[in-house]
Amino acid sequence: VAFGRIRSAAAWLMVPYLVWISFAGVLTWSIHRLNPDAETLVPTARTSQML
């Protein structure tokens, strides 16, 4: 809305960005919802593996 007041081309250039951010948010939320115990699937490393 704020971009449209200044220049309409700037507002239209924001549309693909907003669509992409919305898609990424929904995808992240869906993955989190489908994998509620994902933190416990992979055990954390207690020691460093570097030699």
What is the block-wise mean pLDDT of the chain (51 residues), using blocks of 10 residues? Answer: 84 94 97 85 68 63
Closest among 1, 28, 26 to 15, alpha carbons compared = 1
> Tell me, what's the pLDDT at 29?
95
Q: Is residue 41 part of a domain?
A: no
> Tell me, what's the pLDDT at 3?
78
Q: For residue 15, give its domain range.
A: 2-36
Q: What is the pTM of this model?
A: 0.62
Q: Is residue 10 part of a domain?
A: yes
Q: Is residue 25 part of a domain?
A: yes
CA–CA dist 38, 30 (Å, integer): 13
Report the domain count for the chain.
Answer: 1
CA–CA dist 3, 8 (Å, integer): 7
